[in-house]
Structure formats: structure tokens, C-alpha cells
Amino acid sequence: MTSQPRADKPAAADAEPVPLTRALRVWRGDKAGGALTDYAVPAHEGEVVLDVLHRLQATQANDLAIRWNCKAGKCGSCSMEINGRPRLACMARLSSLPDGPITVTPLRTFPVIRDLVTNVTFNYDWALQVRSFAPPDGLPPGQYRMAQADVDRSQEFRKCIECWLCQDVCHVIRDHDDAKPVYAGPRYFIRHAELDMHPLDAADRRDALRERHGLGLCNITKCCTEVCPAGIKITDNAIIPMKERSADQRYDPLGRVLRSWRRREGRPPAG
């Protein structure tokens, strides 16, 4: 049977939807300085900020520097500040933003390389400071056994995509350059928690976390949790339990005697 055209169908319904125009204010510059530059970019329904940045790059600003990779919220590369809030550009729907110009700036906590790309070496330097998984002596690979509850507990922390949005928003790093050498930040507090809560990890990380990685400087504002695109409850499930574990160890009289004995004997602290 041949389908008949509908007589009542308006001709305009077949036409391509006309794109809207969104005003963008994009920070352009490098480590020597820069400024917000205004653009007007066509945008379609359902698009995200990364789509219009790509269109801007293709049509008006070919040299715009942006870091991105998956366009699916999985690689953590497209972190930037959108209307002043740390977000993944590939997950920021235009429809979630108020009408009016969209301001796009690089992560403020890290040094700018160019335009929207920052140098996030700070984070990789801290990654090297976290002692790696230490299985018990004499337990060969293949013999590791864990209860499902223990797997589930650390699974939340393993969802981290290393986007550094939590590191960017944490005021201890963002507003205090002098804290950077002594404060690892929320991403590494969850890494410690992941390892510390692992039933087969034999290292004690609490001294290091408190004395070298700056856990005590965190004042539990929860800003890191609010911006985490992986939905990790950084403060409630990692930082607060690690503070409690660390305080238990610190004020445990037996632990204090043991630590002072280790110091007297010239032995390294546990963890």
C-alpha cells in the first residue's frame, strides 16, 4: 500500500529546526594573562556546552585550546568552570543553564597552559605519594578472597574518573597556595580510604594521611561531594571515616606507646 501525503500537515513541519544562538564568554589567554572574549554560536536543542565549544572552534576560533576525549562523562578530560561552577563540559546541557551568556573559564586552581587547558601536574605528583596496595606477606595472588560487602564498600571510590573537579573546588587548595605542598586534596583522601578499607591491604596509612597529606586541614564543607560527576560521597563516605580512623589511632593509648617505641627504636612509622 502506498502512503498518501497528509493534506493537513503544515509544510514548515518538514523543515530543519532553526538553531538558536547562544552567547558565550570564553576565557582566552595563556600563563601571561588573558580575558573573556564574547562569541555568538549556533546551538541545537539537546546540546551540551562541549558541542558549542566545538562549533566555536570549527567556525570562529580555530586555535581555541580545549581538552576532551570521550564526550560521555567517562574520561574526566573536559573539566572547566561553567558560569563559575566546576563541571564537565560534555555533561553540561545548555538547557540546564540560565538564558543569557554562558561564561566558560579554565579550572581556577591550576595554572593555565592556554585557553581552557590547565596544568594538572599537582594531582599526579600527589598520586605518587600514596603508598600502593600492600597485600599481606606470604599470600600469593590467586589466593585473595574478599567478602562482597568489602568489594562494594571500595567500589564507590573506584568510580573516580580523575576529572579534578573536587580538587578544583576545594578551598584549601584553591585559595591557599601555601597549602599545596602539604595537602593532597579530596581525590587522594578517597584513594586512601579505598586502600584503608580494603580487607587485604596490610599497610597502615593513617599517620601519613594525617601528618603528610593534610587530612586535618579539611573542614568538611562538602563542596567536593557537590561537584563530583561520579556521584562519590567524598566527605561522608571517605573523609569523615578516615578522620575517625585517624583520630582513633592518634588517641588510642596503646597505639601511642607503640608509635613512641617505633620512634625510639629508629623504625619507620607504620603506613
Interacting residue ranges for ligand SF4, rule: CB under 6 A:
76, 160-166, 169-170, 172, 186-187, 190, 218-224, 227-230, 232, 234-235, 239
Q: Where does this chain touch ligand FES (CB under 6 A) — which range of 1-9, 65-73, 174-182, 242-250?
A: 65-73
**CA–CA distance, 44 with 116 (Å, rounded to integer):** 23
Task: Work out whether 186 is an interface residue with ligand FES (CB under 6 A).
Answer: no
Round the CA-based radius of gyration of the chain to a whole number and report it: 24
Which amino acid makes up residue 132?
S
Based on CB atoms, which residue is closest to ligand FES, 97 or 217?
97
- Grid coordinates representing 231 are 556521584
- Other Cβ atoms less than 10 A from the Cβ of 245: the count is 19
| Residue 57 makes contact with ligand FES by CB under 6 A | no
User: Which one of ligand SF4, ligand FES, none interacts with residue 160, CB within 5 to 8 A by kind?
Assistant: ligand SF4
* C-alpha 22, offset from chain centre: 27
CA–CA gap between residue 209 and residue 192 (Å, rounded): 8
Q: Cβ neighbours of residue 139 under 8 Å, at least 6 residues apart? A: 200
In the list 28, 71, 108, 180, the residue contacting ligand FES (rule: CB under 6 A) is 71
Determine contact, residues 209/242, Cβ cutoff 8 Å.
yes
Site string for ligand FES, 72-101 (x = CB under 6 A): -xxxxxx---------x-x-----------
CB 157 within 8 A of CB 233: no
Applying CB under 6 A, which part among 27-35, 68-76, 148-156, 263-271 lies near ligand FES?
A: 68-76
Among 68, 126, 164, 189, binds ligand FES (CB under 6 A): 68
Residue numbers of the site for ligand FES (CB under 6 A)? Answer: 68-71, 73-78, 88, 90
